[in-house]
Structure 1
Amino acid sequence: MTSMTGTVTRTLESVGATIAYDVRPAQGAGEGTGDRPALLLIGSPMDATGFTTLASHFPDRTVITYDPRGVGRSVRTDGVAENVPGEHAEDLRRVVEAVGAGPVDVFASSGGAVNGLALVAAHPELVRTLVAHEPPTAQVLPDREAALEVCADIHATYLRSGTGPAMAKFFVVVSRRGPFPTDWRDEPTPDPAAFGLPTEDDGTRGDPLLGQNMRGCTSYEPDFDALRAARTRLVVAAGKESEGQFPARAAAAVAERLGTDLVLFPGDHGGFLGGEYGQQGEPEAFAQTLREVLDQD
């Protein structure tokens, strides 16, 4: 693996936000992008630091990462409390155009996968291949109404009671296997202390997951007509260890709607992580699978 030495960090002005992004040139490419398309790695609300390990496995590619609006170094300037995938897609468009690297290959994880689908629907000419890994869009699930209610309840709990109670509910939701029942409100309320979370409300309400992106991401319905019409190669993926969980179920439903096979990657929802945020996935195997998928052009 190589380090991120040589990475250049820049900022650009988008509508309502200043976006920070990083460009790591391919080895031997100088300021160019090398012989292969640049590789854009995106998450949401995860920022660029979450892709440090995965990026290191692609020294032959120019790798682009960024912090989504309202996260890390990318500051919202419009005072709006919530984000929607269309805004993120326009930010991504500006990043790709600023680098001058399009069409790019994109690996998009979690909320980033939702934003990647929005990007391709709006600007397919900028993306050669999109690998959408576990996009948590509840709109495609057979239990969509209950799933949307559960996500809205997490957001409402955060506004009402703060991070601990809301994050405890989030942990329960993401670990659940199988559909959400219609009587989900009758289930016991999880105790934040059981997850090592704070029980006292610190009064802050700027959390990018619970506050800014929870409702906009999970309630987004992909434009399947635009996606099917796009020349972009679409690969929908899920972790081998994620079967039955909300994002993996959504990935399978998106793949079915697109008429493609679901591609299984090593590990779970964070299979590409190599110790970032204290989480250890299977980054080497994950990167090898991603390389094989991207090379099937």
Structure 2
Amino acid sequence: MNNTLTVPGADLYYELRGRGRLVVLVGSPMGARSFEPLAELLAPDYTILTTDPRGIDRSPVHDPDQDSTPQLRADDLAALLTKVDAGPATVFGSSGGAITALAFAQAYPSLVETVIAHEPPLAELVEDRDELHAGTEKQIATYLDGDIVGAWRLFMAQANIELPPGLLEMMFGPDRPAEQLKDERRWFEHELLETTHWQPDLPVLRAGAPRIIAGIGEESAGQVCDRTTRALAAELGIEPTMFPGGHTAFADNPTTFAPRLRTVLESTM
């Protein structure tokens, strides 16, 4: 089922499929399309909610200059869960979506049972936070100056993600659909900084309700999100939960990712 929900400042596109216990798959800036293959694999046993975050793809914002903050996106998730009336939910969030999910857990604990935070870029939890923030600001400035490939080159270098020669230019060159470039610009201009500066309320997250699972890709060793996720796990006194693949494995190889996610979901019942 595809539908739209109007919330303060935005019209949220969302999809609901499957049956059973409610699982929310959320990204930032990744939207419902990125999660579609994984959602289809999980739908036989779970009710799966996916959405385009405010300002991305099919979720237009009323004020294009408004920043997309983790708290706003958490409010959006709360509105969606209230609308579908199928919770409390287990929320799997990846990358910036993991930060959305953690913000949601803090603000709306009655709506969520478990958050699986897969590689959240929690720069505030690592010692080189100032260097990372400065690097992010340089990436944004480079992008807004028109050097798209250069901005992504800086991003990948800071994230410690290595790509085969020529792939970065192929993935992020200017000859891409206009809608993709529009969403990308919005992420750099109005979402990236707010997401990476978010400071979790660690005492609230340590309280144990909702349960927090810190997920890391087996191929992400040494990357920034590996470090930030391990820092979160250490602060919460939990062990990281390993997933196959790297930072975007849920989309790159969902057939490998889904069985592991199923195992983790079953462990939370």
Give the structure-2-normalised TM-score.
0.89
1:216 aligns with one of 194, 199, 208: 194
Partner of 2:16: 23
The DSSP-based 3-state class of the residue aligned with 1:272 is helix
The question of whether the paired residues in 2 share the 8 Å contact of 1:159 and 1:205 is answered with no
**Alignment of 1:290 onto 2:257:** no
Residue of structure 2 equivalent to 1:111? 96
Q: 2:4 matched to 1:11?
A: yes
- 1:141 maps to a residue whose letter is V
CA shift, 1:248, in A, is 1.4
Residue identity opposite 1:130 in structure 2: V
Residue from 63, 73, 77 that aligns with 2:48: 63
Aligned to 1:41: 25
Deviation at 1:101, TM superposition (A): 1.2
Note the 1:94-105 alignment, pairs <5 A.
94-105=79-90
Within 1, Cα distance between the matches of 2:168 and 2:265? 41
Deviation at 1:285, TM superposition (A): 3.0
Matched residue SS, 1:139: helix
8 Å CA contact 1:205–1:211 kept in 2: the answer is: no
Provide the secondary structure at the position in 1 that maps to 2:191: helix
Which residue number corresponds to residue 121 of structure 1? 106
What residue number does 2:222 align with? Answer: 244
What is the CA distance between 1:12 and its match in structure 2?
1.1
Select the structure of larger CA radius of gyration: 1
CA contact (8 A) 1:47 1:71 kept: yes
Judge conservation of contact 1:167–1:210 (CA < 8 Å) in 2: no
1:166 Cα deviation after fit: 1.5
User: What is the rounded CA distance, in whole Å, between the counterparts of 1:231 and 1:160 in structure 2?
Assistant: 44
Question: Does the 8 Å CA contact 1:21/1:64 hold for their aligned counterparts?
Answer: yes
Any unmatched runs of 5+ in structure 1? 1-7, 27-33, 178-191, 274-279
- May I ask how many residue pairs the two structures share in their alignment? 259
Identity of aligned residues (%): 36
The structural deviation recorded for 1:157 is: 1.5
Letter in 1 for 2:150: P
Secondary structure of 1:261's counterpart equals: coil
2:96 partner amino acid: G
Q: Which runs of at least 4 in structure 1 moved beyond 3 Å after TM superposition? A: 196-200
Q: Determine the structure 2 residue equivalent to 1:75.
A: 60
* Richer in helix (by share): 2
Q: In structure 2, what is the Cα distance between the partners aligned to 1:140 and 1:126? A: 26
Structure 1 contact 124–230 (Cα < 8 Å) conserved: no
Deviation at 1:57, TM superposition (A): 1.8
Cα pair 1:45 1:208 within 8 Å, conserved: no
Q: Does 1:173 align with 2:158?
A: yes
1:195 to 149, 169, 174: 169
Q: Distance in 1 between matches of 2:40 and 2:146?
A: 40
Partners of 2:91 and 2:202 in 1: CA distance: 18
> How far 1:47 moved relative to its partner?
0.7
Distance in 1, Cα, partners of 2:168 & 2:159:
16
Q: CA deviation at 1:175?
A: 2.9
- Answer whether contact 1:252 1:262 (CA < 8 A) is retained: yes
Matched position secondary structure for 1:250? helix
Cα distance between partner residues in 1 of 2:173 and 2:50:
31
Amino acid at match of 1:74: S
For the residue of structure 1 that corresponds to 2:64, the secondary structure is: coil
TM-score in terms of structure 1 length: 0.81
Q: Which amino acid aligns with 1:137?
A: L
- Paired with 1:271 and 1:17, the residues of 2 have a C-alpha distance of 29
3-state DSSP of counterpart to 1:132: strand
